[in-house]
Amino acid sequence: MRRSIPILCVALGVLLLVGCKTTTPDKKLNILLICVDDLRPELKSFGAKHIISPNIDQLAKQGVSFQKHFVNAPSCGPSRYTLLTGQYGPATNDALFQRSQNLEKGSETVAPSMPEWFRKQGYKTVSVGKVSHHPGGRGGQDWNDSTVIEMPNAWDKHLMPVTEWEHPRGAMHGLAHGDIRKKAGDMDVFQSATGNDNIYPDGAITEVALNQLRALSADKAQPFFLAVGLIKPHLPFGAPKQYLDMYDGVEFPEPKNTQKPEGRTTWHPSGEFMNYNRWGKDPNTDSDFADEVRRHYAACVSYADAQVGKVLAELKRTGADKNTIVILWGDHGWHLGEHAIWGKHSLFEESLHAPLIIQYPGMKNADVNTSAIVETLDIFPTLCDLTGIETPDFAQGVSLKNVMEDPNAEGHPAFAYFRHASTIRTNTHRFTLHDDGFVELYDHTQTGNETENIASTNPALVQGLKGVIQAKWPRYAE
């Protein structure tokens, strides 16, 4: 209830009485955005029984879980571009650096990024860890050159603790105790060293995030936009041994559709994964090794979940949870042998399907799942809608507030692109259009495994979905 004012304020064209006060507008909702790298929607809150993710699952109980959220690109750089700009963009990992160069040249109009938009509305904007493609948001050989900024004008602070990993590049692909990747073939593809959370880089990222959260929460006047980017479960799969031990005796489900697809698809030979030291083993032919890989990936998920738990606990301890929107977002999925792929970088479901959870104070529904199809592009307008800030015309997504208020509401087709093809996901099908006109069509009302291309027997559906892609992606326009 608004505090009463002891002296009546009169505004009838005369001077206000001495001592008359006006009320201060309510502070806008804060934003806490948690980005998790390479996170499959394989969590208890998304239907998986074997994954131990209590903190993310608790957040899901307090918010809405988008069970059919799809990213706009199956790679870190272009996926984060869509999140942070609200626009489709280049399908390369340097997409945000290209945007930065265009800003510097002034050769074309570049719309403000999402954090810049909120910064212009009075928000204090801080990023910690891997939020844009480079942890810390800088370029240069070791990703620590402060003259090369990935997102100009976006952050009041963009922080990346490196501790014993020397620089952001070292931390990005680091293993325990400061081990830096110099050559992928000399670094183990997975590891579980004994020690606390800080023996891997995400421990340091979380500590800095907690410090920033305390400082930002102490300012009761200025709203904040804090983005925290965790690196794991990105390759190499490294997590403290205690997290791997959690999976002793846990039965993992039998993987499906593990054969290399027949015919032309966006399949690839898993180069990023295969380049690491695998002790001469191939998970596509060695089921025991495949099980080891899946367990180490799961350990990384539980390790990341523990960091999420620390951040959410600190948010609550400060009391800022009562005025903060929380978003947990996976930047893309990851194949664990489906289609004989170990990695992302395809336009199959496993590369594009990622978790999205949104929770905000006073929300109508909590502990609710929605099957509405949505895409990463929708996050920017959703945050504008929830905070009461104007949604910019350049944002190409749509607000998801109506879906959160009515989980049975319709979503919309999710569009994605990578390299030489684009794809659209509807409630019933996935359609993929290659640059040279070749098409793939998969029926999700059947198995959902995307193993049988039915394009040749569904010409009308192919033509209709092709038109949807052409409308979104002008390079395909006839």
pLDDT digits (tens, 9 = 90+) for 228-249: 999 999 999 999 999 999 999 9
* pTM (two decimals): 0.94
* pLDDT band for position 473 (cuts 50, 70, 90): confident
The two structure tokens encoding residue 426: 């509807």
The mean pLDDT of 5-19, rounded to a whole number, is: 32
> What amino acid is encoded at 203 in this protein?
G
> What amino acid is encoded at 78 in this protein?
P
* SS3 call for 46: helix
Answer yes or no: is pLDDT of 177 > 60.
Answer: yes
Domains of the chain: 30-411 (3.40.720.10), 420-478 (no CATH)
- Structure confidence at residue 367 (pLDDT): 95
- Cα(153)–Cα(114) distance, integer angstroms: 10
With tokens 């002008």, the residue in question is: 474
- Structure confidence at residue 447 (pLDDT): 81
Catalytic residues: 76, 133
| Percent of the chain scoring above 90 in pLDDT | 90
pLDDT digits (tens, 9 = 90+) for 126-145: 999 999 999 999 999 999 99
Distances in whole angstroms, Cα of residue 67 to Cα of each of 33, 36, 44, 348, 415: 18, 16, 12, 16, 16
What angle (nearest 5°) sits at the alpha carbon of residue 259, between those of residues 256 and 261?
Answer: 115
- Provide CB contacts within 8 A for 7, sequence distance 6+: 17, 19, 20, 21
